[in-house]
Amino acid sequence: MTAPHFEDYGALKALAEREAEKWWPGRTTIIRPGVIVGPRDDFDRFMYWATRVERGGEILAPGAPTDPAQIIDGRDLAEWVIRMAESGTVGTYNATGPKARLSFAELLYGMRAVGSGDNAIRFTWVPAEFLAQHKVEPWSDLPLWMPPGSASQHVLNVRVERAVAAGLRYRPLADTVRDSLAWFRTLPEARQAKLRAGLTPVREEQVLAAWRSRAGG
């Protein structure tokens, strides 16, 4: 069987939900998770930023500081899903986080706060238009970020009030960052050296240099 393309992902999930409700009407619990992060997350979308902030220096930050970000620690999601199953709660729930709106600046500065407080860390916010001109891809080159107005940015503006009312709770971002880094450091050095998402240091510096040149320094 041929693996489905990424663009089919949402449609297939919707089809699966309809099938579940068809066969178990009024008895289904449908959970729609957002980006799942934390220890043992092998996609490196969250880990790219955590390790990049840990490394310090000038960091290419995408778009505007107010652009949205949404993530959920896999442990918070798992604990909540188990409680939902044990209580027999049914319905459809968006399961991402945190509870309040999270900006990309808050995500990055939250990661910075976990470290040593190195003042050499500097976030350089590069507009989406400039990134597109230099063929920097959202989500893959700059994980967890989508440019404003893009067809996919809605995935970072999901409402979670219903899940919160049903008991979904979130641990502090600092705990997720700290535990994720601790887990990542247990991996082989070769694996740590080759992240599966994000810009390479060389490519990041090329884009930053181009931005500095355009901005006059």
Q: What is the pLDDT of residues 91-128, one digit of tens each?
A: 999 999 999 999 999 999 999 999 755 568 999 999 99
**Least confident span in 9-13, 76-80, 85-89:** 9-13
Pick the residue with more confidence: 216 or 178? 178
DSSP symbols for 64-119: -TTSEE--EEHHHHHHHHHHHHHHT--EEEEE-S-SS-EEHHHHHHHHHHHTT--T
Vertex 14, ends 137 and 161: CA angle to 5°?
Answer: 80
Query: Which pLDDT value is given to residue 108?
Result: 97
Q: pLDDT for 154-191, tens place per residue?
A: 889 999 999 999 999 999 999 999 999 999 999 999 99
Query: Which pLDDT value is given to residue 7?
Result: 65
- This prediction's pTM: 0.91
**pLDDT for 132 beyond 70:** yes
Pick the residue with more confidence: 69 or 2? 69
Q: pLDDT for 37-70, tens place per residue?
A: 999 999 999 999 999 999 999 999 999 999 999 9
DSSP symbols for the chain: -PPPPGGGHHHHHHHHHHHHHHHSTT--EEEEE--EESTT-TT-HHHHHHHHHHH-SEEEEES-TTSEE--EEHHHHHHHHHHHHHHT--EEEEE-S-SS-EEHHHHHHHHHHHTT--TT-EEEEE-HHHHHHTTPPBTTTBTT---TT-TTGGGGS---HHHHHTT-----HHHHHHHHHHHHTTS-HHHHHS-SSS--HHHHHHHHHHHHHHTT-
Query: Which pLDDT value is given to residue 3?
Result: 43
